[in-house]
Structure 1
């Protein structure tokens, strides 16, 4: 039997703080030993891992063509080729008849990620064509730390120029002259804090804006009309926007509404002036209009009032219609308002689903694209006629091999939390399952992020082996509006954990599973959720997966020099305040590991992760090894040395990671391949 690595205990309040010494030989040796231990422990599943990888790979159409996007004289699209980790980006001449079929005779290769990655890590930050379509600007992270290099390609000649700027956040925004770019720079804490203007060919960029408040992130984007550039400085509770005419990029940005603590607003420019989504009248946001020449706050006129039961998440502007992205009863809804005609809501076929308005078409397009998927239905790109409301499916992500969506039942359940709040659960499983079956339960619950149901080719390997999959839509997320988010953050964070436990108990009470058959999973802030729940109610679970888990939350929040810490005070609180420190300490997973039995655990870290440092998972696993009273269940740590917060970048690399996790699940549940 392989001996588990035992981390050295050092003197002091945090005996495993030495694991924070990045690149120290002792740290690297320990992480390598943990990886070796994982491989040894899962050696009996080696064949199963390979089987799962090939099984999942066989469901994916490896050679495929994305749905082309028309822009000006061209169609833009991506091809994937079997065996390649990354797609290749192309364009061809746009047919006059509106056909979306690429023309091989005029096809141009724009970008080949395989050639650039050369087997290593690759993340494309921004990929943007100039307004005159003569240049491509893109940004690349080839380490995983979310620091980007900037490039401009002359499409007529193929000449690629790397821009000589350091610490870039990956953003790139064109002005309408097609030679002026705006880009962002990060500070020591990896926060986008400066915006620069750069004229191609110049030696130096010009500083446009410097955000000195450590809570605020800077961003720059083009308006829907493509006539304006917008600079947004945004914390988790407050925003401030500045505007510039895209035809006059050398002028100064003008502020629309000076920041006011608690006021969040997001402007856009459309066919008849300005539209501003703002929470000044209520936490679920309202929509305002302002004339072209007077966009400042005193001129805003109410268009869509605040609704305490409906969250206004976004507004998409086109020349034909205004499209509102709403959230009601835990589900996304699109309301279309054609100019001069009656509004309508988009009809959808499933009980629980994910729906996004895709702002990829030209401003004057009479149609828009929607991305729609459900737990049992692969993603579809639908075309919506904005005036008539008719829909047609342009492309469905294929599932290769035998697949019948109707063989799987997708439904919505509701649990009741300890305070009486009803918590939605999305559930999918094969229709032929017995009443009680193994269950994989997923959760997140932070930052107001809505965890809408999604389809997964890989997940079919769970479902077809008799495992149900469920999502607990706990407070701290945004599924039921801003109030849902606020009731799961700061002093209300325990609600997130209570909700997840309530969802587990509801599924048990309904006879859908047993504690010996439940594996739970969460990543990043969802990893904090998993860590806290395991400390509080470990007997409910057979196993857990925590990906890049934010489990050392107290120590991290006490270190303002770490990336992103100061910006997180609005989410978790500032532990330099004694009452906040006590509150965080009461649930922080690392501090609250107890002398008790724990289920099997797999923790995954990214060595170059700047959002959740690798040592959070490493320290947590070390303390679990020290304190847990049962030594039989698996306790494994995998550190991805070539990855950041999002895991491995190549598509086959990512599939192997999923195969590893599923092999762990099957081991824990006693299921065979």
Structure 2
């Protein structure tokens, strides 16, 4: 409980002078700001005090569905199987390995296992986020990185697996990435600039006291990332903005040499590269949008660094199918596609007919979880739907034979057929059809039900339907759940993304409203039963639609919401601002300024009635600063004309992803669900 006396009335933020009267909330670590945030937390505690028993019931209920002590599916690599184990009562999974059995077996031998890392011990009850976990090619060392505050700045460590000795590397402002060269002695890592952008790559040889800068990216729009190719023979340095990219490569056996550019950046040209085998020959594989926005795949001999004119088409561009990515094994190429708003896996085995993976559900999430070793004849897929728990499926590359290796257990009474999963389509104002994924209990079909509608719609991210143990606590109490796949996301390809960014951002908000109206018109729900939710850029979506159509919703939840868009985009010194110009525009340009000001949630709060609102922020959040939520809530308190709940919770020890640890995460969900039941007047 807060040490501050619980206020009887909502905390009222003082209004300062100037165009932004709540700008003083940006004065991090001052006593006035901290006291205000703690007062808001105390106000939330007061208003939700009557739900303590319900929240504990929900927490225990959700926890009771989860197999708390469990073993991940071991992954074979070299002489070992690598895996994690969760134990009841522990917040984090421990990392292990054991000797690899003969053949294709993947059963862990606990009698011979070795504990590699225990995050529970490292966390010591505080915040902990594990960044990189990377075993050296000779399996003798573990490189790992830790964030202990939530600000996404990492400390780097190397552990000698033979002796258990741990060395903290003496480098600061690290992005958490660590990439091994093939000598198992050389590590490459990234450094953050003042705006929290990965901009420099360093090479460090174990035992040295320093590191050597090998690359610097001065353009503030570009992020830097280093990794290993599928073949394990190349190091790949990828530089990317929201619209343009550039790749550099280096022989992983020659880490002292310099990276070489594969194709110099050209504004609007996006590409990425991998290295593998094609018909027995070492080959560069390049996924590029040079022939169309949905990307095509090209090949080039790996005998040298090819010119762009040497790229030969391997998979042509399609106007209707998006090439999202590729996975390389020695004797097969696996394409990750998007078609009709859903993910599709297409396999092209060497010397055999291509095929697409067949699946049982109409709406689902599917991706390659593990390509295993480069020489493996199989890969692992992760598959789930709104009513089907996640499965790891083994796919035999040559013939497409599938085997479910592991299904996430749901303890207690659970029957997937007790829930109905549907794909609906709403019509936007311009006639565009917007997909909706919906799940509810089968016995609630045909009557209006309380509904939790979720949205995001930015950066081309695809919100494919996913299963949630926690969500069953909503569904079993009669609350339906839906995802609005609005423009700005990537569900229907690159064109879908571009139709919801920059000057088309209004489509994202209009699509979400159209989805809500469609669900009401179809009799799935009513406006007085509709709760909406989104986080980060999805919080921007929630804030915008609340200003435009507040009467359409009963309540809203906004997590780490990007609601102070205009002021943030006007400050190039803030983390990520410059890199975001390609997504939102640069408001230094008058036309862009007017456009953003026209929809920015903070600027457009009006003297009108708003639904009940729960807002969550992270004090150490480096992506969306805590003050965006605090300022927005302050302005809402000043102007709104209703008596509905307006609650702000600031996690004072967390960042963008909220509190660390699986049990704390469940308690956060219980708080949110309790708020939903309270404002809907449900008495579960």
Coarse TM-score class (shorter-chain normalised):
over 0.9
Q: Which residue, out of 241, 245, 250, partners 2:251? A: 245
Distance in 1 of aligned mates of 2:370 and 2:482: 30
Equivalence for 2:348: 337
CA contact (8 A) 2:327 2:371 kept: no
CA contact (8 A) 1:138 1:152 kept: yes
Distance in 2 of aligned mates of 1:41 and 1:476: 36
Equivalence for 2:225: 219
Distance in 2 of aligned mates of 1:540 and 1:320: 54
CA-CA distance at 1:358 after TM superposition: 1.9
**2:37 is equivalent to residue 37 of structure 1:** no
Distance in 1 of aligned mates of 2:57 and 2:307: 60
CA-CA distance at 1:360 after TM superposition: 4.3
CA-CA distance at 1:297 after TM superposition: 1.4
Equivalence for 1:171: 177
Unaligned runs of 5+ in 1: none
**2:495 is equivalent to residue 495 of structure 1:** no
Q: Which residue, out of 572, 576, 585, partners 1:573? A: 585
**2:410 is equivalent to residue 399 of structure 1:** yes
Equivalence for 2:491: 479
Give me the TM-score of the superposition, normalised by structure 2: 0.98
CA-CA distance at 1:299 after TM superposition: 1.1
CA deviations on 1:413-462 (whole Å, 9 max, x unpaired) are: 00000000000000000000042100000000000000100000000000
Look up the SS of the partner of 2:171 in the other structure.
strand
Look up the SS of the partner of 2:443 in the other structure.
coil
CA deviations on 1:486-526 (whole Å, 9 max, x unpaired) are: 00000000000000000000001001110000000000000
CA contact (8 A) 2:224 2:237 kept: yes
Distance in 2 of aligned mates of 1:279 and 1:360: 24
Equivalence for 2:4: none
Q: Which residue, out of 454, 465, 490, partners 1:442? A: 454
**2:110 is equivalent to residue 104 of structure 1:** yes
Look up the SS of the partner of 2:172 in the other structure.
strand
CA contact (8 A) 1:198 1:204 kept: yes
Look up the SS of the partner of 1:165 in the other structure.
coil
Distance in 1 of aligned mates of 2:222 and 2:302: 27
Q: Which residue, out of 290, 293, 318, partners 1:280? A: 290
More displaced stretch, 89-98 vs 597-606: 89-98
Distance in 2 of aligned mates of 1:208 and 1:435: 63
Unaligned runs of 5+ in 2: 1-6
CA contact (8 A) 1:524 1:550 kept: yes
Equivalence for 1:153: 159
CA deviations on 1:340-395 (whole Å, 9 max, x unpaired) are: 11000000000000001123410000000000000000000000000011000000
Distance in 2 of aligned mates of 1:97 and 1:578: 65
CA contact (8 A) 1:549 1:612 kept: yes
CA-CA distance at 1:548 after TM superposition: 0.1
Equivalence for 1:604: 616
CA contact (8 A) 1:122 1:649 kept: yes
Distance in 1 of aligned mates of 2:308 and 2:56: 59
Within 5 Å, give how 1:93-492 maps onto structure 2.
Answer: 93-271=99-277, 272=281, 273-294=283-304, 295-433=306-444, 434-492=446-504
Equivalence for 2:517: 505
CA contact (8 A) 1:193 1:211 kept: yes
CA contact (8 A) 1:58 1:400 kept: yes
CA deviations on 1:10-69 (whole Å, 9 max, x unpaired) are: 111111000000000000000000000000000111111111000000000000000000
Look up the SS of the partner of 1:581 in the other structure.
helix
Look up the SS of the partner of 1:432 in the other structure.
helix
CA contact (8 A) 1:69 1:360 kept: no
Equivalence for 1:656: 667
Distance change >3 Å, CA 360–CA 340, structure 1 → 2: closer
Distance in 2 of aligned mates of 1:648 and 1:666: 23
CA-CA distance at 1:642 after TM superposition: 1.2
**2:94 is equivalent to residue 88 of structure 1:** yes
CA-CA distance at 1:97 after TM superposition: 3.1
Aligned alpha-carbon RMSD (Å)? 0.7
**2:38 is equivalent to residue 49 of structure 1:** no
Look up the SS of the partner of 2:512 in the other structure.
helix
Look up the SS of the partner of 1:281 in the other structure.
coil
Distance in 1 of aligned mates of 2:146 and 2:372: 25
Distance in 1 of aligned mates of 2:679 and 2:377: 52
Equivalence for 1:516: 528
Distance in 2 of aligned mates of 1:290 and 1:106: 44
Distance in 2 of aligned mates of 1:525 and 1:672: 32
Give me the TM-score of the superposition, normalised by structure 1: 0.99
CA-CA distance at 1:103 after TM superposition: 1.2
Distance in 1 of aligned mates of 2:585 and 2:43: 37
Query: How many residues were matched structurally?
Result: 672
CA deviations on 1:290-335 (whole Å, 9 max, x unpaired) are: 0012433121000111001110000110012000000000000000
CA contact (8 A) 2:328 2:371 kept: no
Distance in 2 of aligned mates of 1:323 and 1:102: 28
